[in-house]
Chains A and B, each alone.
Chain A
Amino acid sequence: MKRKAIKSHLKRHQNQWGVVFVVPAILFFSLFSFYPIVNAVYTSLFRKKVLSLKPPTFIGLENYRYLLTSADFWNSIRATAVFTIGTFVPLLIFSLLLAVLISQVKYGRKYLQMAYYSPAVLSSVVAAAIWLLIFDPRGLANQWVNFVMNSPGVDHSWFANSIMVQFATMLVYFWKYVGYFVIIFIAGMASIPHALYEAARIDGASNWKSFWRITLPLLRPTVVLVSIMSMLQCLKTFSTQYLFTQSGAPQAPINVITMNIYNTGIRDQRIGRASAMSIILFLIMLFFTWLQFKTSKSDEVTY
């Protein structure tokens, strides 16, 4: 009995150290995650400007009402939605296709993977800077497109045209991240037991058939994960669009939400309105995260 008491005393003493070890993280996340999000909700209810001597005035949901009737904000929603859908769908399809093809390669697969992954190593600003030169009227993009379409000397005005500039930002993003998702799919495919394919082959299934009947169904959790992850990433895009507009591209077609928050909050110093925008972005992303949890719950795979 006595020994047990000493032991439990020791345990309690040890566990106090556990509390000590977790304190820095609690302080950090309270100050730099929870406080700011609560503060953003609070600030979004005020008319507030930085550096203004006037005290912020409480205006209720006026900021939200303003945004939901503002053409500029709806344009941002449109730009973000177009960019997200136009980027993540091709990303998903091509990364899955490439992962399947790469997994068929016998020699040098590792180097092939590294080559596809390498653009993801660059920073977004560098990626955008390279493509800005490729999209130059006399640059590589026109040369390639004209070569494929056999239309020498045509300028496809990648910047001037509002549709083309949106397409250009998507292309940059697609180029940078496709290899990243290829790697995730290859890792997902590696976890499918090889015996399943053996069994299918003995039963006379073709490669094509075993892809549709084995790989794809068992890869479903990875597909869901990649689609949500890439979607959330696309919703937050900023660097590419920022560098493009700083280099003279028209702003309206690619004025995504994040850039609008930055311009409203920092350039125009309308903190209240920018906070309301942040909260709307947060809610949109929260919805998709919730969707991910919901869909992946029913997706537990057992072999």
Chain B
Amino acid sequence: MKSKNVSVKELYMMRATKILMWIILTISLLFIIAPLVFMLTAAFMPAGDIIKMPYRWIPKGLYTPNFVKAVAGNDGTYIFIRNLLNSLIVAGAVSVTTVLISSITGYSLSKFHYPGRDFIFMGIMATMMIPFEAIMIPLYMVITRMGIQNSYQGLILPFLVNAFGVFMMRQYLVTFPDEFIDAARVDGMSEFAIFRSIILPNSGPAIATLAILAFRSQWDNLLWPLLVAQTEKMKTIPLYIVKFRAEMHTDEGAMMAVALLASIPMFVLFFSLSQYFVSGSAVFSSRKG
């Protein structure tokens, strides 16, 4: 029950704030959504319709040659398909290794006692402060010396696991009940079997969050493939977009078709697993200190 003696003036104030709130929300929502709608509609329009004032938000029909051009490329080599496959392979492989190595490391750091354990944990956490951009050139030299530049190994190896993943899995497993692990030991399970059939299956949410984070960061990665992937065959989707844009910056429709195709895998993941996207960012706010 609100107190009954609310003055007329206050009532007006409340209504005014409410209206202002909706105006801000609507304008900001338009600002967020309009570019996405633009990408979606422009992908189905001939170039002549896109750069036109005012922009028509509804395509006249579904103009599909954009997609043919997007996939075939300027030179008709269909390298797009190979590049898309490369992105899927690299992002997929990195997600798998990140999950596996992060969880086994987190398991070791949370459930075992050995000298130097806390020191190792601190050391791994310290690497969070080293930005990739600052070590990319020495890393490139390492990869070159190993002779794996311009290969999947070269694209994947520097991202096998990351400190944030280890941190997250360790925090998650600290609260994992010891009784389960001890019971399995009494039953004579090997330590590795415990990890595989007790720890992993019971870390579902943390694993999903981590896998999505890893997949996204590789799908978005431009800088490292720019250094390592030298031939067209080893390039990934971000590189394809840069090349496509630089080569034919007049064909707006085909450009948006490429952008749309490159975003489909992420949007499929987002709409089916949105709670793990959100929990990935929310992890930070629940972190203390």
A residues apposed to B, CB below 8 Å? 11, 14-19, 21-22, 24-26, 28-29, 31-37, 39-40, 43, 94, 97-98, 101-102, 104-105, 112-119, 121-127, 129-134, 136, 138-140, 143, 175, 178-180, 183-185, 187-188, 191, 204, 207-208, 221-222, 225, 229, 232, 235-236, 238-239, 242-243, 246-248, 257-258, 261-262, 265-266, 271, 274-275, 278-279, 281-282, 285-286, 289, 293, 296-297, 299-300
Q: Does B50 contact A (CB under 8 A)?
A: yes
Closest B residue by C-beta to A39: B138
Q: Which residues of B contact A36 (CB under 8 A)?
A: 130, 135, 138-139, 142
B116 to chain A, nearest CB (A): 9
Q: Which 5 A-B pairs have the closest CB atoms?
A: A18-B112, A21-B108, A36-B138, A36-B135, A187-B282
- Whether A126 contacts B36 by the Cβ 8 Å rule is no
B278 contacts which of A28, A129, A183, A279 (Cβ < 8 Å)?
A183
A98 vs B286: C-alpha distance in the bound complex, in angstroms?
A: 20
A184 contacts which of B3, B113, B285 (Cβ < 8 Å)?
B285
Q: Which residues of A contact B53 (CB under 8 A)?
A: 138, 143
Which residue, of B29, B112, B246, B282, has the highest number of chain A Cβ atoms within 10 A?
Answer: B112
Summarize A's interface: helix, strand, loop or mixed. helix
A238 vs B108: C-alpha distance in the bound complex, in angstroms?
A: 36
Q: Does B109 contact A (CB under 8 A)?
A: yes
Q: Which residues of A contact B216 (CB under 8 A)?
A: 121
What are the interface flags for B136-160 relative to A under an 8 Å C-beta threshold, 1 for contact and 0 otherwise? 1111111000000000000001101
A197 vs B52: C-alpha distance in the bound complex, in angstroms?
A: 51
- Whether B138 contacts A118 by the Cβ 8 Å rule is no
A112 vs B32: C-alpha distance in the bound complex, in angstroms?
A: 11
A274 to chain B, nearest CB (A): 5
Q: Which residues of B contact A113 (CB under 8 A)?
A: 278
Which residue, of B101, B131, B134, has the highest number of chain A Cβ atoms within 10 A?
Answer: B134
- Whether A132 contacts B51 by the Cβ 8 Å rule is no
B residues apposed to A, CB below 8 Å? 3, 17, 21, 24-25, 28-29, 31-36, 38-39, 42, 50-55, 101, 104-105, 107-109, 111-114, 117, 120, 123-124, 127, 129-142, 157-158, 160-161, 163, 166, 185, 191-192, 195, 216, 219-220, 222-223, 226-227, 237-238, 241-242, 245-246, 249, 252, 255-256, 258-259, 262-263, 266-267, 270, 274, 277-278, 281-282, 284-289
| Contact of A32 with B139 at beta-carbon distance under 8 Å, contacts A122-B263, A238-B223 already known | yes
Closest A residue by C-beta to B123: A29
Q: Which residues of B contact A208 (CB under 8 A)?
A: 17
A39 vs B42: C-alpha distance in the bound complex, in angstroms?
A: 47
- Whether A24 contacts B101 by the Cβ 8 Å rule is yes
- Whether B289 contacts A123 by the Cβ 8 Å rule is no
Closest A residue by C-beta to B222: A239
- Whether A133 contacts B255 by the Cβ 8 Å rule is yes
Q: Which residues of B contact A97 (CB under 8 A)?
A: 24
- Whether B24 contacts A18 by the Cβ 8 Å rule is no
B32 contacts which of A119, A188, A258 (Cβ < 8 Å)?
A119
A247 vs B51: C-alpha distance in the bound complex, in angstroms?
A: 17
Q: Which residues of A contact B185 (CB under 8 A)?
A: 14
